[in-house]
Amino acid sequence: MNDVKVIEIKKSVFEDNDREADILRDELKRKGIYLLNLMSAPGSGKTTTLIQTINRLKDKIRIAVMEADIDSDVDAVKIQSATGVSSIQLHTGGMCHLDAGMTRQGIDAVVGKFDLIILENVGNLVCPAEFDTGAVRNAMILSVPEGDDKPLKYPLMFSVCDVVVINKIDVLPYFDFDLEKCKEYIRMRNPKAIVLPVCAKTGEGIDAFADWLLAEVRTWQNK
């Protein structure tokens, strides 16, 4: 019986993407641009958190936002109207994530000079975690109504994120959400992850996230 050649397509796709992501990261470093990949499930409050954060930083650094969605431009319009910063919409054509190539297309379409570009990835706790976008850091938002057990159910997402923002802490009294237990679960997946409890609606805790991001941008540019 003849041997059949087997091609591991998934492995090849990830390896090709990783190479492209490294190239993109190097290019952004030379230009002094810091790229943050922000992920979460739908409805976690990504856009509201971004608005609060950007309004604290926009007078200190130049910021642009890339909004990724399967369709619509709702978030891009909302960001631009609420903050005044440059915002573009990326349509994925049904795909549930962005990879390095898609991210590059978005960056190429951003007009102007920026210190920080924030990619608000497609709302999904699975696919976006699998693909390196070329970002300097990955961040994610977990909202209280989603439950404190999400790090156990979606291990890869929490493993690849440098920062976990726990949003909607104003509703903690109304949900069976143990904040300390959630922090423990996150550290099981990623001992180095920074955990920041916030309320995007009221602004509570947002300063800590904004301060972290500003320090990251400054460090990246001064390396």
Query: Each residue of 112-171: pLDDT tens digit?
Result: 899 999 999 988 999 999 999 999 999 999 999 999 999 999 999 999 999 999 999 999
116 phi/psi in degrees, rounded to 5 = -135, 125
In this predicted model, what pLDDT tens digit does every residue of 24-61 receive, in sequence order? 999 999 999 999 999 999 999 999 999 999 999 999 99
Percent helix, strand and coil across the chain, each to the nearest 5? 50, 20, 35
Per-residue pLDDT at 106 exceeds 60: yes
Locus of tokens 């696919």:
127
What three-state secondary structure class fits 104?
helix
Confidence of residue 74 (pLDDT cuts 50, 70, 90): confident
pLDDT band at 210 (very low <50, low <70, confident <90, very high): very high
pTM check: above 0.75: yes
Q: Residue 75: which pLDDT band, with cuts at 50, 70 and 90?
A: confident
Among 12-21, 174-183, 213-222, the minimum mean pLDDT is found in 12-21
* Averaged pLDDT score across all residues of the chain: 92
Assess contact for 169 and 177: CB atoms under 8 A: no
pLDDT on residue 139: 98
Residues 6+ apart with CB under 8 A from 69: 75, 89, 90, 91, 92, 122
CA 106-8-14 angle, to 5 degrees, is: 25
Q: pLDDT value at position 137? A: 98
- pLDDT of 168-178, one tens digit each? 999 999 999 99
